[in-house]
Homo-oligomer: A and B are copies of this chain.
Amino acid sequence: MIKTPVCQIVGYKNSGKTAFMSRLIEYYTSKGFTVGALKHHGHGGEPAAMDARETDSGKHSNAGATISGVQGESRLQLSFDHNSPMDLTDILRMYELSGPDIILVEGYKDASFPKVVLLKESDDEQLLQDVTHTVAIGSRNKDLLHNRKLYTIPLLEIEDRIDDIATYIQNKVF
């Protein structure tokens, strides 16, 4: 059970997820919230190994450690290697131990936290059928925005009006 408010940002490739999420992070941080951010590396990709052989935690990892971490004065870095992907809820529990006010999650379409679905164009609408718990649709597409009344879920502009959608998410999810 995750007690911290979580909002997912989902969308097909090149729908602007990372840029939108970064702007939300900036917005909420400017409002005094601490924000945790998690991204799913799509298509079987991997984050680059943290720091190879040169560092001590790299040596621990090379020796076979399934978790290698290093804590400095103001930064903690952890790297987990697993045979099967860790469960999103377990990852979010780790986040909670550090006590962020809110957690924004990029990707993980199958998860069931409140979601903003990004649509680049009307062809992307299938995604609305494939996910659950959608609280808003976000887009930069002028045609989609013009036809926003066709949708039963609020469709909001994500570039020029970041404050509006951030406030909407805040009221709906936090």
Question: Contact residues of A with B, CB < 8 Å?
Answer: 18-19, 21-23, 25-26, 29-30, 34-41, 44-51, 55-57, 59-83, 85-86, 90-91, 93-95, 97-98, 100, 103-104, 106
Contact = CB atoms under 8 A, between A and B. Distances in A.
B71 A40 contact: yes
A36 B67 contact: yes
B67 A39 contact: no
Interface of A is mostly: mixed
A151 to B, nearest CB: 28
A75 to B, nearest CB: 5
Contact of A41 (B41, B50, B67, B72): B72
B74 A85 contact: yes
Contact of A35 (B21, B34, B59, B64): B64
Contacts of A95: 67, 69
Contacts of A45: 72-73
A60 B97 contact: no
A38 B26 CA distance: 31
Contacts of A100: 66-67
A40 B57 CA distance: 10
